Amino acid sequence: MDVKIEESWKNVLKSEFSKPYFPQIPLHIKTEKSQGKTIYPPGSLIFNAFNTTPFDKVKVVILGQDPYHGKGQAHGLCFSVQYGVPPPPSLLNIFKELQDDIGIEIPNHGNLTHWAEQGVFLLNASLTVRAGEPMSHAKIGWAQFTDTVIKTISAQKKHVVFLLWGKFAQEKRVLIDESKHLILRSVHPSPLSAYGGFFGCKHFSKTNEYLSSKGIDPIDWSL
């Protein structure tokens, strides 16, 4: 099927789009919409992470579970919210760690597009969700697709930093070749767990140290 996605991603994922499971995803979403369900993010933003961070530009991968399920929050970048939407608690904790780690002031918004434009691929394992129902699209095919995305990055690129926060993200470790990439792991930045190891993990400075050591431009984490 013809998927509207940035060209470099289309090239490396074209075989995936032709597999039998993939057309079932938009069919499932279309069916739910016809039943009056609200789906986030809007259709034009489902592949926002891919369109904002081309495959050729990926330096860092941050993995989330699924999109925010509240009105106006999700816009296709994990942990990020649209301008005008208050940063959710996990994102606030990310900003707190960022401030403690490298001294960047906590921004007055939660839009992470600036990171994505520099090569921070903000991938959710599920790319859509029903309003008010977290994990509601976890089993409609997205996991198979995004696992392939992670494996493709691992196989076809080198010196990528993977930030795996929380048990769910860390389960994806098996998809990554650690001999040519850096994996940084911690508990989730959620208020329920952040004090158990996310605060003080220094993942932002460690990411930039690694990239610099490989001759790759570091990330400007300021927003």
Catalytic residue among 66, 100, 217, 220: 66
| Strand (E) or helix (H) holding 213 | helix 203-213
In contact, 78 and 62? CB cutoff 8 Å: yes
Buried b (16+ CB within 10 A) or exposed e, 41-50: beeebbbbbb
| Triad 220, 42, 146: Cα angle to 5° | 65
- Side chain identity, residue 213: S
| Predicted pLDDT at 82 | 95
- Respond yes or no: is residue 220 known to be catalytic: no
| Predicted pLDDT at 26 | 95
Return the closest-CA partner of residue 190 out of 93, 47, 112.
Answer: 93
Question: What is the rounded CA–CA span in Å between residue 80 and residue 53?
Answer: 14
| Predicted pLDDT at 215 | 98
C-alpha dist (Å) from residue 130 to 55, 127, 133, 219: 28, 11, 5, 33
- Per-residue pLDDT of the chain (223 residues), as tens digits, is 678 899 999 999 999 999 999 999 999 999 999 999 999 999 999 999 999 999 999 999 999 999 999 999 999 999 999 999 999 999 999 999 999 999 999 999 999 999 999 999 999 999 999 999 999 999 999 999 999 999 999 999 999 999 999 999 999 999 999 999 999 999 999 999 999 999 999 999 999 999 999 999 999 999 9
| Predicted pLDDT at 62 | 98
| Predicted pLDDT at 189 | 98
